[in-house]
Chains A and B, each alone.
Chain A
């Protein structure tokens, strides 16, 4: 953090903060500001996502969506937050008052703590731990504790079923998620989030199209196992984040509102804050593990280290990739039906866990194979795999989209935004 602050000040103001007498205060202010941004980011992002999700949903459903408060209804999340904060905090008569009050805090704490090890750009990270990924995977378990706590203490059967579903779901899906995460960890040889991103920068000293965050340098297209692992990770992350098609803990058509049925006001808003911010966490993890993180195409990561402007660019790259994944998550929610609780377990234990395990073992074999097979064969395979796994699905997707538009007799209309 200190070196990043140094460099940022050097390139922006052309002064060396090391020569200032109040250097430590500058660092402290920098740290505080960064910490504030990180922790507030979760709240602001989930608010913004709530607006975005509602706009996208409205768009997909031929509705208008929120459009009253602010430009294009953008400030609707501020209005919602104010409403929820000023609402009465109802605690049911038969609920356990202490646990009922504590539950939402556990949920929020579990969420905000993940941001400590989540990067936003080159060295823009609160703490670059060497066990960062392990830390993130374990700290998210605190969310389940909060959910079970609030579900049990609500003293409502709907809440209880939702909470138990959530516990079963999150604990089960942590296994395929953890195994799928091991694939990039093996490929990068590091558990540090920054280390994994740096490993996706192509060969050192390569040409313009060989270095930096080009798609063919991403772990996603590294080998077929990593490709499969990405989808396993994404599915498991959806389940851990209680997002459709795995939104069973709060399935409104079955359980009214699931574990948060009895909550109101601010405590209720905490659950939604967590849910939406969790979308960022899962998308950011997907980006840093498989989609090259903040690596800028054509720029080596060493070059990024030495330029403040490139650091800003790396943040942009990371945010754009993450938001693209966030968009997919939102999109899935308004497209797919919900699966049943036993089908969810079957999917996890019968399919995702064995396949993820196989991916890890095969990746280990792959790494050994790369040291034996000549480099030209490896790079040829990379190119072929990138074309098959990257370009072909994209072309098919675009074709299908236009085919669907033609069949309904609709046209592309973006004027409604």
Chain B
């Protein structure tokens, strides 16, 4: 489908229909709106309208104290709250010039990778649901429930974790938790094989996603795409490997890159399948981390009650489930509050690519495209 189809319609395509997709629509993944201009089923252009979920989280960062902002970061990306926690913690730690103890770093890596699996499960499941396969979504949620149970045991929360703190993590790994996690991972790897049989290689599913919404590597870089969306386009870039933070130097893992498994490199299927492969890699990382988990503190001993970093600015970034998540934090050295907090998120960048890709798509394709970009509304607007 391309411009040609619209041209062929000739005089019939004079009148265009404006279709309002969202903010309340089953498959916009939150409160996002798309103004779809098109001719019947064929879309001429879909313009994303963001901002419905803006909660001024960055401004709140200037009003509350440094540790007090941590729970708000959970809300920046509620499906992958661990990463949002970690990015902020790393930024403030950089300002204070300290590093979390090794055990805390391992706890961070374990919790983050489990959270990455949980987030990708949602992404993969909703992708299936948007294409019309309702069952894989519930299977994905079933596995995510087990993950939520594990994370709840670790930090007491199932969605907004508030687990990473400035200088470490809130709680140590409980007794017997490592064994439970390993048991889950054993089961989960088999479940991933089942997803492949149930959904990934389903003929209809492949036909729907192959060669759809192709983002070439240069375009992905131009639009600033990050994370799985960038890697699916064939750009081999992962912060965990290329600019390692925390303890990621200690782990052996592959970075899955889109190969055009069923069509062109960077199509919707590649973005879906890269996430499936990333879950496998996360399983590997969690296994290694649990094996190597060092003894020691989980909190830096020199964190004062009142966090007052010296004057300066810091930029920290982590490889979130939705790609690079960056925190820019400045302190004036006097106040307990940040002078400016800025969060750079992957979903917002991904929204930019919808408009050029939507030209000539059909309505059903737009739904698949949005799902494949794995956008989360609160992360777009913050």
| Chain A residues in the interface with B (C-beta under 8 A) | 57, 60-63, 157-158, 161, 164-165, 244-245, 247-248, 251-256, 334-343, 404, 407-409
Contacts of A338 in B (CB 8 A): 131-133, 204, 208, 364
List residues of chain B with CB within 8 A of the CB of A161: 40-41, 363
> Apart from A335-B198, A408-B194, what 16 extra A-B contacts exist at CB < 8 Å?
A60-B135, A63-B138, A157-B19, A253-B132, A254-B363, A335-B135, A337-B131, A337-B208, A338-B131, A338-B132, A339-B207, A339-B208, A340-B362, A340-B364, A341-B364, A343-B207
Q: List residues of chain B with CB within 8 A of the CB of A252.
A: 26
Pairwise interchain contact A255-B363, C-beta atoms closer than 8 A: yes
29 A-B residue pairings within 8 Å (CB atoms): A60-B135, A61-B135, A61-B138, A62-B138, A63-B138, A157-B19, A161-B363, A251-B132, A251-B364, A253-B27, A253-B130, A254-B367, A256-B25, A335-B135, A336-B133, A337-B132, A337-B133, A337-B202, A338-B131, A338-B133, A338-B204, A338-B364, A339-B208, A340-B364, A340-B365, A341-B41, A341-B364, A404-B197, A408-B191
How many A-B pairs have beta carbons closer than 8 Å: the answer is 91
B98 at the interface (CB under 8 A from A): no
| B residues less than 8 Å from A157 (CB atoms) | 17, 19
Is B3 in contact with chain A by the CB < 8 A criterion?
A: no
* Contact residues of B between 291 and 333, Cβ < 8 Å to A: none
Give Cα A408–Cα B187 distance, bound, in whole angstroms.
Answer: 8
B142 CB-CB contact with A under 8 Å: yes
Chain B neighbourhood of A255, CB < 8 A: 363
Bound-state CA distance A60–B27 (Å) is 23
Most buried by A among B19, B128, B134, B362: B134
CB within 8 Å of A: which of B184-228? 187, 190-191, 193-194, 197-199, 202, 204-205, 207-208
Please name all residues of chain B whose beta carbon is closer than 8 Å to the beta carbon of A337 when the two chains form the complex: 128, 131-133, 199, 202, 204-205, 208
Known contacts A338-B204, A407-B193, A244 near B132 by CB under 8 Å: yes
In the bound complex, what is the Cα–Cα distance between A382 and B367 (angstroms)?
48
Residue B65 lies at the interface, judged by CB distance under 8 Å to chain A: no
Main secondary structure of the interface of B (DSSP, over half): helix
Cβ of B280 within 8 Å of any chain A Cβ, yes or no, is no
A336 x B194 contact (CB < 8 A): no
Residue of B whose beta carbon sits closest to that of A404: B197
Taking CB atoms and an 8 Å cut-off, the chain B residues in 3-24 that contact chain A are 17, 19
Within 8 A of A (CB), among B318-376: 362-365, 367
How far, in Å, is A396 (CB) from chain B's closest CB? 15
Q: What distance in Å separates the Cβ of B210 from its nearest Cβ neighbour in chain A?
A: 11
Minimal beta-carbon separation of A86 from chain B (angstroms): 26
Say yes or no: is B181 at the interface (Cβ < 8 Å to chain A): no
When the two chains form their complex, are residues A340 and B130 in contact, meaning their CB atoms are under 8 A apart?
Answer: no
Residues on the A chain within 8 Å of B134, using CB: 57, 61, 334
Instruction: Kindly list chain A residues whose C-beta atoms are within 8 Å of the C-beta of B17.
Output: 157
Select from chain B the residue with minimum beta-carbon distance to A246: B132
A23 to B314, CA, bound (A): 98
| Distance between A152 CB and nearest chain B CB, rounded to angstroms | 14
How far is A341 from B364 in the complex, measured between Cα atoms in Å? 8
A384 CB to closest chain B CB (Å) equals 29
B366 nearest CB neighbor, chain A only: A254
Q: How many angstroms from the CA of A404 to the CA of B205 in the assembled complex?
A: 20
Chain A residues positioned under 8 Å from B197 (CB to CB): 404, 407
Q: When the two chains form their complex, are residues B133 and A339 in contact, meaning their CB atoms are under 8 A apart?
A: no
Bound: A50/B128 CA distance, A:
23
Q: A60 CA to B142 CA in the complex, in Å?
A: 12
Q: Known interface pairs A63-B138, A337-B205, A339-B204. Does A253 touch B190 (Cβ–Cβ under 8 Å)?
A: no
B133 surroundings in chain A (CB, below 8 A): 335-338
Most buried by A among B132, B190, B208: B132
Task: Report chain B residues within 8 Å CB of A341.
Answer: 41, 362, 364
- Could you mark each residue 83-119 of chain B with 1 if its beta carbon is under 8 Å from any beta carbon of chain A, else 0? 0000000000000000000000000000000000000
Give the chain B neighbours of A335 by CB distance below 8 A.
133, 135, 198
B139 sits at the interface (CB 8 A): yes
Q: Which 7 A-B pairs have the closest CB atoms?
A: A338-B132, A61-B138, A337-B133, A253-B27, A337-B131, A337-B132, A253-B130
8 Å CB contact of A254 from B194, B205, B364: B364
Which A residues are in CB contact (< 8 Å) with B139? 61-62
> B129: CB under 8 A from chain A?
yes
Q: How far is the CA of A343 from the CA of B131 in the complex (A)?
A: 13
Q: Is the CB of B208 within 8 A of A340?
A: yes
Q: How far is the CB of B29 from chain A (nearest CB, A)?
A: 11
B-chain residues with CB within 8 Å of residue A164 when the two chains form the complex: 40
A253 and B367 in contact (CB under 8 A), knowing A161-B40, A337-B133? Answer: yes
Residues of B within 8 A of A404 (CB): 194, 197
Q: Bound complex: CA of A407 vs CA of B194, how far in Å? A: 8
Residue in chain A with minimal CB distance to B138 = A61
For residue B135, which residues in chain A have a CB less than 8 angstroms away from its CB? 57, 60-61, 334-335
Q: In the complex, what distance in Å separates the CA atom of A107 from the CA atom of B255?
A: 54
A227 to chain B, nearest CB (A): 20
With A341-B364, A404-B194, A407-B190 in contact, do A256 and B26 touch (Cβ < 8 Å)?
yes
User: Closest approach, in angstroms, between the C-beta of B6 and any C-beta of chain A?
Assistant: 14
Q: How far is the CA of A335 from the CA of B187 in the complex (A)?
A: 22
Chain B residue with Cβ nearest A60: B135
Tell me, rounded to whole Å, the shortest Cβ–Cβ distance linking A405 to chain B.
Answer: 10
Nearest chain-A residue to B5 (Cβ)? A342
Which residue in chain B gives the minimum CB-CB distance to A403? B197
Distance in angstroms from A181 CB to nearest chain B CB is: 25
Is A62 touching B142 in the complex (CB atoms < 8 A)?
yes
